[in-house]
C-alpha cells in the first residue's frame, strides 16, 4: 500500500496494493478507521465522501490493484465508538468452530447474529472473531448467511485465499446445502424465479419474485414429512438475498418461523412445538480449496431445532 501526503486534517489518498485487492471497500475503511462505527462508515460512503479513482462507490465494491481511495478525515469523537463484542459472544463463536486450518476456518454460525455489523447493528460474527483473535493478521468472510440463518460459514485467514474462494463462489463451485422446514406436504423440485431486492412493502425492505429480478435457482428435496410440514434438503445454485425463503413462499410452502415471508398460522403452530426462530440451517459446505484439497463440513442442528423435529416425529411417527 502506498499513500500520498495530505494536508493536516484533510483527506488521505491510498493506493491499493495487489495483496489488498479483492476486499470490499467497507471492510477496507473499517481497517483504517478503527473505532468508527459501521453506521458512520456507511454514511460517508452514501454521501460520496469516499471516492475510488475520483468516483463515488458502493459498500459492495471490491477493490482492484492500483485503485486510489480517497479517505475523508473522520474524527473519532463525532460519535461514540460502537460497543465491543462481549466475551460471551466471542467465546460462543470460538466454541462454534467446526474446522480450522492455517488458511481458513468454518464455524456453525448461531441464529440471530449477523455476519457483520452495520445498518444499526454494532457488530457481527466477523467483528467478534477479530476481537477474540486480536493477533490474527487477517480474518474475512468468504460468503454470507442471513442473520436468522444458522450453519456453515467459511472464513478466510489469508487474502490470497479470500480472492481465490470468492472467484470459486462467483462461478458456482460451492456445494451449499440447507435444512428448511416448510408448510405443507410438498414434493419439492427446482424453483427458478428471478428475485429483486430492495422492494418496499409497508415500509419494510423485502425481496420479491419479479421479471426484472436477478436469476435465482433453488432445488428442494423432501427429507421427512410430518403431516402439515415437510423437512427439505435445499441446494442453492445461486446466492441471492433471502433466496430460500422467497422461493419456498413463492412455491406456496413458506418456511416455519419466517416472520417476513411466512404464514402466521403455521408459525403459531410451530411455536407451540417450541420453535423460537426461522427454521433454516446451512448443514453442509463443500468446495475444492485453493491448495486443491477437498473441504467437506457438516454442521449439526442446534438443540432447539432438533427438539422441534423430535416433537414432530413423535406426533406423526
Query: Could you tell me the three cell numbers for 115?
Result: 455476519
Residue 80 CB partners (closer than 8 Å, separation 6+): 37
Position 39 scores a pLDDT of 78
Position 316 scores a pLDDT of 86
The residue among 308, 255, 265, 267 whose CA lies nearest residue 149 is 255
Indicate which residue of 26, 146, 258, 263 is catalytic.
146
Position 119 scores a pLDDT of 62
Residue 78 has pLDDT above 50, yes or no: no
Q: Is 95 a catalytic residue?
A: no
Mean pLDDT across the stretch 41-63?
90
Mean pLDDT across the stretch 94-99?
96
pLDDT grade for 22, boundaries at 50, 70 and 90: confident
Residue 243 CB partners (closer than 8 Å, separation 6+): 195, 207, 216, 218, 236
Mean pLDDT across the stretch 94-100?
96
pLDDT grade for 5, boundaries at 50, 70 and 90: very low
Position 59 scores a pLDDT of 86
* Digit-coded pLDDT (tens) for 199-213: 777 667 889 999 999
Mean pLDDT across the stretch 217-242?
95
What strand order describes the sheet that includes 68-71?
A: 2-4, 12-15, 68-71, 51-52
* Digit-coded pLDDT (tens) for 64-76: 989 999 999 886 5
Amino acid at each position: 500500500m502506498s499513500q500520498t501526503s495530505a494536508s493536516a486534517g484533510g483527506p488521505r489518498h491510498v493506493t491499493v496494493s495487489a495483496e489488498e485487492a479483492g476486499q470490499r471497500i467497507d471492510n477496507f475503511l473499517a481497517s483504517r478507521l478503527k473505532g468508527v462505527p459501521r453506521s458512520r462508515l456507511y454514511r460517508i460512503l452514501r454521501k460520496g465522501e469516499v471516492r475510488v479513482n475520483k468516483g463515488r462507490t458502493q459498500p459492495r465494491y471490491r477493490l482492484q490493484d492500483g485503485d486510489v481511495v480517497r479517505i475523508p478525515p473522520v474524527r473519532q469523537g463525532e460519535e461514540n465508538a460502537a460497543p465491543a463484542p462481549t466475551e460471551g459472544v466471542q467465546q460462543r463463536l470460538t466454541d462454534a468452530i467446526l474446522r480450522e486450518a492455517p488458511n481458513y476456518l468454518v464455524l456453525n454460525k448461531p441464529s440471530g447474529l449477523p455476519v457483520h455489523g452495520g445498518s444499526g447493528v454494532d457488530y457481527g460474527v466477523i467483528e467478534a472473531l477479530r476481537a477474540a483473535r486480536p493477533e490474527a493478521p487477517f480474518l474475512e468472510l468468504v460468503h454470507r448467511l442471513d442473520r436468522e440463518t444458522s450453519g456453515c460459514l467459511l472464513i478466510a485467514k489469508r487474502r490470497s485465499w479470500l480472492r481465490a474462494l470468492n472467484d470459486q463462489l462467483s462461478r458456482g463451485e460451492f456445494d451449499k446445502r440447507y435444512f428448511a422446514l416448510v408448510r405443507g406436504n410438498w414434493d419439492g423440485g427446482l424453483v427458478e424465479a428471478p428475485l429483486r431486492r430492495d422492494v418496499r412493502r409497508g415500509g419494510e425492505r423485502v425481496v420479491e419474485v419479479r421479471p426484472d429480478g436477478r436469476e435465482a435457482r433453488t432445488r428442494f428435496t423432501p427429507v421427512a414429512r410430518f403431516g402439515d410440514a415437510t423437512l427439505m434438503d435445499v441446494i442453492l445454485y445461486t446466492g441471492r438475498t433471502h433466496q430460500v425463503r422467497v422461493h419456498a413462499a413463492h412455491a406456496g410452502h413458506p418456511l416455519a418461523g419466517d416472520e417476513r415471508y411466512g404464514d402466521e398460522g403455521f408459525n403459531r403452530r410451530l411455536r407451540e412445538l417450541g420453535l423460537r426462530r426461522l427454521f433454516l440451517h446451512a448443514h453442509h459446505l463443500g468446495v475444492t480449496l485453493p491448495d486443491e484439497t477437498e473441504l467437506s463440513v457438516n454442521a449439526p442442528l442446534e438443540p432447539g431445532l432438533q427438539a422441534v423435529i423430535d416433537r414432530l416425529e413423535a406426533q406423526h411417527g
